[in-house]
Amino acid sequence: MNIKHLNWFLLIITTINLGISSMANAKSAYDFNFDSIEGGIIPLSDFTGNVILLVNTASKCGFTNQYEGLQSLWDEFKSDGLVVIGVPSNDFGGQEPGTNVQIKNFCEVNFNINFPMTAKAIVKGNGAHPFYKWANDELGWRARPKWNFHKYLIGRDGSLQGSFSSMVSTESSKLRNKITQLLKNKI
């Protein structure tokens, strides 16, 4: 291996190690930020003390009607401390092909969405957003998103409290009971 290749190899290893160590240093969901669909940043730490339902979404999916339920949860429980955050992703079936502007418009026009939305993000694989890598490390591979509208529930202390597949609707007693339970726990 010549010196040029060795330098590239060391740079790659260092970059990988920095990425791994930054995730390893994360103690809670509050350690992560997302780009906002409107521009700017959404620090999850802005929601310290709230219960967060973080959902990867898509506009052209068989589960897209779950937007309606997400908005209903937000409307029903936001005064109690629930924050719903949509994370548009094109990772499953290419079902979120639009731009951030198109996605935002679709959500507002079709579902009257007014809960926070992130910019389009990668939620699986090596390029996944750091939150999703951390969630995978915390809860294991069974809890990682396998399709659109996968839900993570985060407690008031920033800890992951559950993972719900796309098949778990927003009307599910399993999800709603867990949200209600976490909302009762005051910090």
Cα angle, residue 120 at apex, residues 134 and 110 outer, rounded to 5°: 125
Using alpha carbons, select from 81, 87, 66, 98 the residue that is nearest to residue 168. Answer: 66
Q: Which residues have CB under 8 Å from 114's CB, separation 6+?
A: 71, 74, 108
The burial class, CB within 10 Å (0-12 / 13-18 / 19+), for 183 is middle
Catalytic residues: 61
Long-range contacts of 130-138 (CB under 8 A, 24+ apart): 130/19, 130/22, 130/23, 130/26, 130/32, 131/29, 131/32, 131/34, 131/44, 131/54, 133/23, 134/23, 134/26, 134/29, 134/31, 134/32, 135/160, 135/163, 137/23
